[in-house]
Amino acid sequence: MPQIVTLTLNPAVDKISSIPHVVAERKLRCEPPRHDPGGGGLNVARAIQRLGGQATAYWTCGGLMGQLLAERLDAEDVLHRPIPIQAMTRENLIVLEQSTGLQFRFGMPGARLTPDEVERCLRTLHELDRAPDFLVLSGSLPPGAPDDFYARAVRECPADCRVILDTSGPPLHQGMEGGVYLIKPNIRELSELAGSELMEDAEIREVARSLISSGKVHVVVTSLGSAGVVVITGEHCENIRAPTVKVQSKVGAGDSTVAGIVWGLAQGKDVPDAVRLGVAAGSAAVMTEGTELCRPEDVWRLYEEMCRNGERGS
């Protein structure tokens, strides 16, 4: 089975609670909180594990929150390798307002990495016992990590390693300079890469094709939210519609999508069908509450429905 590695420089413990009403300037008494692992690469590894696969998750670990995060990953049987840092791993807060169903998400900047810790993360990739077949670089960069970190990480990989880059802003723009296999921007992020606001399907396709022609990326999967995705390669262009589901929470949907894509590719599916599995996983994730990721039974049911409704399977 192909080896999948994820790297998360800005992991988090996601604390989630609920309250009847969110009111300013008042002491609010919340329900007992739940603590879940968070951070792009960790969520991808967790979702792959739920789909029946395995990924090795490397992540920066510091302080009591880092210990708690490690315990939560162990409880889910996720194969992970902490990279020790001095500062404490961040904690995010997610509060559900019961009366409205609105979700308030407070994301913290993360632990500041020292220059030595940044280099340690890069050495970790360089010193892997076995070069991965897939490397997922996912999530925001914490304070102290340079914008070109992902580009430097890509250069640590052998040429036959397929790198999936899922981030935004300068780290996405600079990360692509290293040459990656697949990116998954939303329309806003693709617009930032293009330098202009994209409104029409034709514009999305034109920008994606120009990125592929430049040699920076082989596959561009542009997220359209509830409408699905547009997947473009050098030879293929397809709109993949997302199934209609009841939305409980959008937390983790993007990471579940990436997990489905990577796991599909690792199983030998072609790109469109792997992306189809990713869309099913992302749709399944929004059906769960809070920070919960996709449930495997939902993923496979939705995927099979998409195939029966005319979508091609491998």
Q: 157 CB contacts (<8 Å, ≥6 apart)?
A: 125, 131, 132, 135, 163
Please indicate whether residue 255 is annotated as part of the active site.
Answer: yes
Contact assessment for residue 41 and residue 8, using Cβ atoms and an 8 Å cutoff: yes
Residue 23: DSSP 8-state: -
Catalytic member of 255, 270, 273, 298 = 255
Question: Burial level of 143, CB count in 10 A (0-12/13-18/19+)?
Answer: exposed
Residue 142 in contact with residue 9, Cβ under 8 Å? yes
Alpha helices, DSSP H, located in the chain: 40-50, 63-75, 115-126, 149-155, 169-175, 187-194, 201-213, 253-266, 271-286, 296-308
φ/ψ (deg, to 5) at 115: -55, -40
Longest alpha-carbon distance in the chain: 58
Report yes or no: 285 and 256 within 8 Å, Cβ to Cβ: yes
List residues with catalytic annotation: 255
